Amino acid sequence: MIPVSGFEGAVVGVLGLGRSGLSAARALREGGAQVLVWDDNIAARERATDEGFEARDLRRAMDEMACLVVSPGIPHLYPEPNPVIAAALDAGVPVDNDIGLFFRSLGAGWEMYDRAPKVIAVTGSNGKSTTSALLHHILTSSGRESQLAGNIGRGVLDIDPPGDGGMIVLELSSYQTELARALTPDVAVFTNLSPDHLDRHAGLGGYFAAKRRLFAEGGPDRAVIGVDEPEGRFLAGQLSEGRSDDRVIRISSGRKLLGPGWYVFARKGFLAEWRKGRQVASIDLREISGLPGAHNHQNACAAYAACRSLGLAPRDIEAALRSFAGLPHRSQLIAEANGVRYVNDSKATNVDSALKALQAFDKIRWVCGGLMKEGGLGGLAAGLPHVTKAYVIGREPEAFALQLPGVEADICGDMATAVARAMADAQPGEVVLLAPAAASFDQYDNFELRGQDFTRNVQDALPK
């Protein structure tokens, strides 16, 4: 645990008692704060009171509180503030989250280290989980102490105090970066940007602004920036003092980047590192099974660049890339039988991530559908030629199928039917791919359960 500093003897409210909220409450108490908690869910409140926390309507405690700590899923500005947060803003009570508490507390007592620990923070629309896990894998494979936390792995305040020269890899969502009052990573990574969570951020500009705070507020020593979208190029330009400023490492999947700066890019399956106008390393990514497709090659570029900024050698990074198994529900190869591959990419919950999955394979039997997000499916057009046939699930599969022009669509409704029909139709050399391009909430509590259902149906149908 990382005890929260700066609130000794003060009253701090914690709103939302999921994983991050309860973790923050424990860390605040460990640091000497008097903690008041609240969650609209009675069971969550009971779990907290069982641990000795006082549950109270926080709107009636504003005069006492030095700070209000908010869980990431609770709106604080758009579409409208939660009533407790609105009361805090009216009363002038500072509002923070567990990420802000982490950064303000982590450096306490660092004079004891010969080599200060380092924090690498990863944000972006797609690929941040894989990039974070890949970074952690490379660091541990290279003999470095590393902990993985944030939006993946453990809560940021649940990790162990790092050892001498230890590394902490954080995956951070826009919900987390937007509210944190302290953001001071040593290395910050921006993977890419595509429309998502637009209601929460009042549009694409607000969404990008939330991501940008990790760089603008924190001033990292190194910034790794994906420049395949205008927002990334803009961010890299804002952070750089000039073309040769190697504090900014620009990365790309599909574009060759040249100039006097520091660049890492992947083209035609090969990762290349260029610095000061010269190529210094190259890696063949084509046969690395844990990183299929151009989108994963971008993830590899981001992790490679961050590790190079920390002083790791290219050969050590390459060895770790080859042993990376990938993450569940993210281009996860779950089976191969009779020449057909079965891939679970349930995390492809938006159009951009689903497009990347479609472009990673040819001859796809595509299991798709669910709760469509704002903007429709027009952005999938470039990937549809890869689809042999779509098998559409969800509560409104007909409406989903109507947005797939030129694609033969089988209206299945549920996962079991879709998997059974796709498996019956699949021919050698084809891929049965779950990449829904939609949220899961019309049929599942989360994308993990959807991916597990797909996996179970496939494995149950395969010969034993």
| pLDDT tens string 411-431 | 999 999 999 999 999 999 999
The full 3-state SS of 117-168, as one line of letters, equals CEEEEEECCCCHHHHHHHHHHHHHHCCCCEEEEECCCECHHHCCCCCCCCEE
Listed in sequence order, the residues at least 6 apart from 416 whose beta carbon sits closer than 8 Å to its beta carbon are: 453, 457
Do residues 362 and 414 share a domain? yes
Residue 261 known to bind ligand: no
The CATH code of the domain that includes 89 is 3.40.50.720
- Cβ atoms of 210 and 198 closer than 8 Å: no
* Domain assignment of residue 345, yes or no: yes
* Domain assignment of residue 422, yes or no: yes
Compute the distance between CA of residue 108 and CA of residue 436 in angstroms, rounded to an integer.
44
* Domain assignment of residue 2, yes or no: no
* Domain assignment of residue 160, yes or no: yes
pLDDT of residue 151 exceeding 90? no
Do residues 165 and 278 share a domain? yes
Residue 24, SS3 per DSSP: helix
Do residues 378 and 314 share a domain? no
Residue 194 known to bind ligand: no
DSSP assignments along 232-299, one per residue: HHHHHHHH-SSTT-TTEEEEEES----SSSEEEEEETTEEEEEETTEEEEEEE-TT-TTS-HHHHHHH
Listed in sequence order, the residues at least 6 apart from 445 whose beta carbon sits closer than 8 Å to its beta carbon are: none
Q: Which residue has the higher pLDDT, 154 or 209?
A: 209
**DSSP bridge pairs for 263:** 250, 274
Residue 123 known to bind ligand: no
* Domain assignment of residue 1, yes or no: no
Q: What pLDDT shows up at residue 104?
A: 93
Mean pLDDT of 14-18: 96
The CATH code of the domain that includes 412 is 3.90.190.20
Q: What is the DSSP letter of 223?
A: E
Do residues 92 and 184 share a domain? no
Do residues 265 and 380 share a domain? no
Band of residue 218 on the pLDDT scale cut at 50, 70, 90: confident
| pLDDT tens string 251-289 | 999 899 999 999 999 999 999 999 999 999 999 999 898
The domain boundary residue, chosen from 289, 322, 355: 322
Do residues 121 and 84 share a domain? no
| pLDDT tens string 54-75 | 999 999 999 999 999 999 989 9
pLDDT of residue 173 exceeding 70? yes
Do residues 196 and 310 share a domain? yes
Do residues 114 and 262 share a domain? yes
Buried b (16+ CB within 10 A) or exposed e, 366-375: bbbbbbbbee
Long-range contacts of the stretch 107-115 (C-beta < 8 A, 24+): 108/5, 113/164, 113/165, 114/164, 114/165, 115/164, 115/165
The CATH code of the domain that includes 120 is 3.40.1190.10
Q: What is the DSSP letter of 40?
A: S
Q: What pLDDT shows up at residue 109?
A: 67
The domain boundary residue, chosen from 96, 125, 151: 96
Compute the distance between CA of residue 388 and CA of residue 338 in angstroms, rounded to an integer.
18
Residue 71 known to bind ligand: no
The count of other CB atoms within 10 Å of the CB of residue 122 is 32
Band of residue 294 on the pLDDT scale cut at 50, 70, 90: confident
- Sign for the CA dihedral angle at 6, 10, 213, 19 comes to positive
pLDDT of residue 197 exceeding 80? yes
The domain boundary residue, chosen from 96, 131, 147: 96
Residue tagged 């570029």 (tokens): 301
| pLDDT tens string 99-145 | 999 999 987 767 778 888 999 999 999 889 999 999 999 999 999 99
Do residues 353 and 396 share a domain? yes
| pLDDT tens string 227-249 | 999 999 999 999 999 999 999 99
* Domain assignment of residue 62, yes or no: yes
Residue 438, SS3 per DSSP: coil
Q: Which residue has the higher pLDDT, 328 or 43?
A: 43
Q: How many domains does the chain have?
A: 3
Do residues 105 and 92 share a domain? no
Residue 125 known to bind ligand: yes
Q: What pLDDT shows up at residue 328?
A: 86
Residue 127 known to bind ligand: yes
Q: Which of 91, 79, 74 minimizes the C-alpha distance to 14?
A: 74
Show the domain range for 449. 332-459
| pLDDT tens string 77-103 | 999 999 999 999 999 999 999 999 999
Do residues 397 and 444 share a domain? yes
Residue 253 known to bind ligand: no
Record the tokens describing residue 457, joined without a space.
């149906």
Task: Give me the percent of the chain exceeding a pLDDT of 70.
Answer: 100
pLDDT of residue 464 exceeding 90? no
Helix pair 293-309, 351-359: axis angle to 10 deg:
100
* Domain assignment of residue 34, yes or no: yes
Q: Which of 104, 90, 87 minimizes the C-alpha distance to 13?
A: 87
* Domain assignment of residue 6, yes or no: no
Do residues 20 and 145 share a domain? no
